[in-house]
Amino acid sequence: MLNRVVLVGRLTRDPELRSTNAGMFVVSFTIAFDEYHGRAENRERKSCFINCTVFGQAAENMSKFTKKGSLVGVDGHLTQRTYDTRDGRRVSVVEIIVDSLQFLERKSEENNNTNDGSSDSSYEAKTEENVEPETNNVDGINVTEDDLPF
């Protein structure tokens, strides 16, 4: 079975770092993204909010380098869990368990992207300043319209 989710969105609140009983770091967060319905002339935008959880070093980095409004990319899998509330109700939650997290804004953009008047300070997951840029050789690639997914 295939269970893979890839999303790009903005954090709806500042991440709060916690740790499990075993001492592993964990951050639960919600990302917001837009979904569009209908044809171009009657296109409607709907905002969606998805709960996510990230563990380990990625959780620690997320709490250091992101905040409300930061643009992130998540790659993970869906999971469903249930729990009982104090008043006896059973609640079911569907969320993404993040396997890979990408910080999609450079630190230099922190003053340019202000959704709520605050600034973003996020990096590429492995501190982009220390990574050499990749050079992609695209010579000799023949792309036809049949190859495009849209």
Q: What is the pLDDT along the chain (150 residues), one digit of tens a residue?
A: 899 999 999 999 999 999 999 999 999 999 999 998 888 788 889 999 999 999 999 999 999 999 999 999 999 999 999 999 999 999 999 999 999 999 998 765 544 444 444 443 333 333 333 334 444 444 555 555 555 554
Count of all residues that appear for the chain in the document: 150
Burial, 130: exposed, middle or buried (Cβ in 10 Å; 0-12, 13-18, 19+)? Answer: exposed
- Residue 29, amino acid: F
The 10 Å CB-count burial string (b at 16+, else e) for 137-146 is eeeeeeeeee
Domains of the chain: 5-129 (2.40.50.140)
pLDDT on residue 41 = 80
CA-to-CA dists, residue 5 to 74, 77, 98, 99, 139, angstroms: 8, 5, 9, 10, 31
Cα 89 to the chain's mean position, in Å?
30
pLDDT on residue 42 = 84
